[in-house]
A and B are shown apart, each in its own frame.
Chain A
Amino acid sequence: MFFLLFIFTPLSSQAAEIPYPASLSVLVEESPERDGKTFIIQGEVVGEPLIENNGVWLNILEEGNPMAVFCPADLAGTARQLTGGNHERIGTRIQVKGILRRICMEHGGDLDFHAAKCEIIAASKETSDVPKREDSILIISIIWMILVLKIRDYYNTSRLSQ
């Protein structure tokens, strides 16, 4: 239900009219030329949504390149509900239409992206962190060797003290 609520406007029809940057790094790299223009960007939300007086910050990541997305009050409520990625899970993947601001005066001169529309393209999912078999064998071998050395040292020391 929430997934459906968050789709504010269908973006696919507009995407063709607006230049879609190859990656977020292009936006940063060419920020002087692209300042103040409208783009559609995609990325995984990482970390927790952060509260700002009149909105919410989302930090998104695409191919290792980050971008700070500011969601104003009308998007803030739902943006706050998004799941950010961390070690335990891959964050919600979103597509955002908005304006790139090279020096955002509203936010202390930071380079940011002000969202106008936002769409979920993939839900967050959990990841697993379980030990591999070969790692387990290796750690057991190391512990075993440490124990052998320590026990040998202990017997040598006690024999010397006697």
Chain B
Amino acid sequence: MLLRPPKGEPLGLIHSLGKFSVFLGLCLFLSVMVSLVFQEYGTAVRLGIGAGTAFLLGLLMKKLPPPSDELSLSGAFTLATLVWIHATLITGFTYWETGYFASFLDACFDAMSGYTTTGLTLLQDLDHAPEGLQFLRHGVTFLGGQGIIVLFLIFASHGAAEFYQLYVGEGKDERLWPNVLHTARTIWWISMVYLVLGTGILYPILTNLGLKPTRALLDALYLFEGAWSTGGFAPHVQNLLYYHSTAVEIVTAIIFIIGSLNFAVHHRIIQGNFREMYKNSEVRSFAFTLFFLTLTAAWFCAKAQVYPTFSTSFRKVFYQMASAHTTTGNMTLYARQFIHDWPAPALFCLITTMVIGGSACSTAGGFKGMRLSQAFHTLLYEMRKILLPTHAVSTLKMHHRKPYLFAPEHGYKALFIIFLFTALYAFSTFAGVLAGYPMTDAVFEGVSAASNSGLSCGITSVGMPWYLKFVYIVAMFLGRLEFIAAFVFCGYSFAFLKGR
């Protein structure tokens, strides 16, 4: 028997969503300030309409009664989903208001792409976009990388224990500290330290390229936000190719590789435990797959004479592979070059890295290195069980923050999520094929959207069918929230309508 949610809870969820909407309105207002500074008065007004709408809606929703009791687990997961949907719609509306998107759906696509740190974009005329909009888009991806709810918890909650469920609902289930609020603050503290460092390193490189100081500072900030959040947004349509700079490529690659690591690993390193870096199972898994797949792809590219020498091949391939593996999506190639230039085995390696993705509890997407490592350990465990005598006890060790014994339940849980991701990749690919795109292109773009990578082979454009845009929006959303919260939201809605 399906039970209705506790009385008053659904209205309480809308009340909490109202609090978030007010918070979102204040965040959007920052972009209005930027537009005013740059004397983009028309854009400032249009961005202000979005910010004001978020604020006004929030005030109205807050008129509903607050949740009387502690939120139920399903209620918290539903609220996490609602927060994401609301943020996408409001930010999409704000984008649409600026006039740089062909439709509201395109604007929502870009907003979802930003929040999920995917990096696919449908913005028209990026190179002429106002500073306020650029600031907002990169801010959105930076915010999405750390987690919208993580930031909301810092500013809007009072550290209540039930908010841990909300935090988990966003696809981050790691506590750096026993208190979730403390964990959220630590995540933002780590990110802000890197923001200052990363922008500080990129700024002189960009001024050396000839950019004026203000432009260099803004581009440095945007490039950092895009790379660190593994979003892959950049302020120019050519993405990283615009700068023609090896230094920019190296620095951004370092930033997105660091950004794709688990916040728990960062935390351990900041605490002085440097050995965590090479002992951690997830980091090892990432290093192995990146190294192995990059070498394979570079070798195939060199063999097919895509690049005349192996060193050129390695340089070009490494950047795209690292960008794909960390699910960043920064590119130093034109989109169609993937399809026309790269041989099929190299393309296969690139898609595989997108499928795997970065680390759990990081800014990255994909099904995550930790789950791959756990799946591999499950295979080892099952093989040992068969090969060893029946009374033998088989133990496998893993390392994450501290050494622990591998339990097969971890592996089965990981395999379940991997299965769901595989189904999502298949679904988004099928939608691409159905829209009439060649199989290779459809796999590339479908996996890129669902794994929140953002590399594009050219499908993502204003001209693609509306239903494909919608499928990619759903794929980006499910991939980012890792299914559970979205599924609970569906169940909760059904229980609300049909439950007793």
Contacts and interface: CB of A to CB of B under 8 A. Distances in A.
B315 A109 contact: yes
A142 B246 contact: no
B315 A46 contact: no
Contacts of B341: 31-32, 102
Interface string B137-149: 0000000000000
A109 B127 contact: no
B273 interface: no
Nearest to B462: A64
| Chain B residues touching A, majority SS | helix
B125 interface: yes
Contact of B315 (A47, A51, A85, A108): A108
A37 interface: no
A46 to B, nearest CB: 4
B12 interface: no
Given A59-B236, A68-B241, A142-B49, A85 B211 contact: no
Interface in A66-119: 66, 68, 80, 85-87, 90, 102-103, 105, 107-112
A107 B46 CA distance: 41
Interface in B315-346: 315-316, 332-334, 336-337, 340-341
Nearest to B44: A131
Contacts of A139: 45, 48-49, 52
B49 A59 contact: no
A87 B48 contact: no
A132 B332 CA distance: 39
A129 B43 contact: yes
B498 interface: no
Contacts of A121: none
Interface string B120-163: 00001101111100000000000000000000000000000000
Given A28-B336, A111-B334, A145-B56, A85 B127 contact: yes
Interface string B223-267: 000000000000011100111111000000000000000000000
Contacts of B215: 48
B53 A129 contact: no
Contact of B312 (A25, A66, A108, A150): A108
B42 interface: yes
A87 B128 contact: yes
A64 B244 contact: no
Given A29-B340, A59-B242, A139-B48, A46 B236 contact: yes
Interface residues of A, number: 50
B336 A50 contact: no
B487 interface: no
B246 to A, nearest CB: 6
Nearest to A153: B59
Contacts of B241: 68, 110
Contacts of B130: 87, 129
B128 A85 contact: yes
Contacts of A31: 337, 340-341
A110 B128 contact: no
Contacts of A109: 307, 312-313, 315-316
A53 B237 CA distance: 24
Interface of B: 38-46, 48-49, 52-53, 55-56, 59-60, 97, 124-125, 127-131, 208-212, 215, 236-238, 241-246, 306-308, 312-313, 315-316, 332-334, 336-337, 340-341
Interface of A: 25, 28-29, 31-32, 46-52, 56-57, 59, 61, 64, 66, 68, 80, 85-87, 90, 102-103, 105, 107-112, 127-132, 135-136, 138-139, 142-143, 145-146, 149-150, 153
